[in-house]
Amino acid sequence: MKAREITCCKSCGWGSDSITISEVQQQVEKHGVYVCEKCEAKYEAILNHEGDFRIKNGFGSNEAFITEDSIYYVEADRGRIVDPKAPFLGFGGRWFLIVKRQDGSNNAFVTNSLFHWVSIPAVFRERFKKSDKVNSTIVGMEKEALANLRDILKNIPHLN
């Protein structure tokens, strides 16, 4: 008996052997790659959403960070900074500097518990840019580099 090939969504990575070949072909014709209907619905909801989009899951209503190619979040019930010894940190507790555009201004902060939600397929990336949905820049940082930045900012007299 030959195992059935599973086609996985290029966005969320999930796949199932219950997806029919015609469903896959229909989505590929529409988007150029296989994007599952759930992800397609997510993207349409974001594109039609007014204001700050939030990701709702078992951890509450989480702040979303939309970059040019992915969507990330920080769990609402844990906050942006989590004890580095806590279990199950996003990206293994790696530090990130995030600049998010909100209400016409840029807000910068750090987190050590960032989670990846989905990768945005190329077909939706242009629509996100045109709709002004890309709201964040995320940079992975070493803890020492963040401490350096903190010291530099403390020493700028014009910021006091």
User: What is the DSSP-derived secondary structure letter of residue 15?
Assistant: B
- Residue 137 corresponds to which amino acid? T
- Mean pLDDT, residues 38-62: 90
Question: What are the boundaries of each domain within the chain?
Answer: 1-48, 51-159
Model-level pTM?
A: 0.86
DSSP H helices, the chain, are: 21-31, 37-48, 122-130, 143-154
Model confidence at 78: pLDDT above 90: no
CB 110 within 8 A of CB 149: no
Model confidence at 160: pLDDT above 50: yes
pLDDT in tens, 140-152: 999 999 999 999 9
DSSP state string for 74-119: E-TTT-SS--TTSSS-GGGG-EEEEEEEETTEEEEEEES-EEEEEE
On average, the pLDDT of the chain sits at 89
Q: Place 2 in a pLDDT band, splitting at 50, 70 and 90.
A: very low
- Mean pLDDT, residues 83-111: 93
Q: Place 1 in a pLDDT band, splitting at 50, 70 and 90.
A: very low
**Measured distance CA(88)–CA(35) in Å, rounded:** 28
- Mean pLDDT, residues 20-26: 85
159 or 111, higher pLDDT = 111
Output the CA–CA distances (angstroms, integers) from residue 133 to 32, 58, 82, 111, 154, in the order listed: 22, 24, 27, 21, 33
- Given this model, what pLDDT does residue 6 score? 62
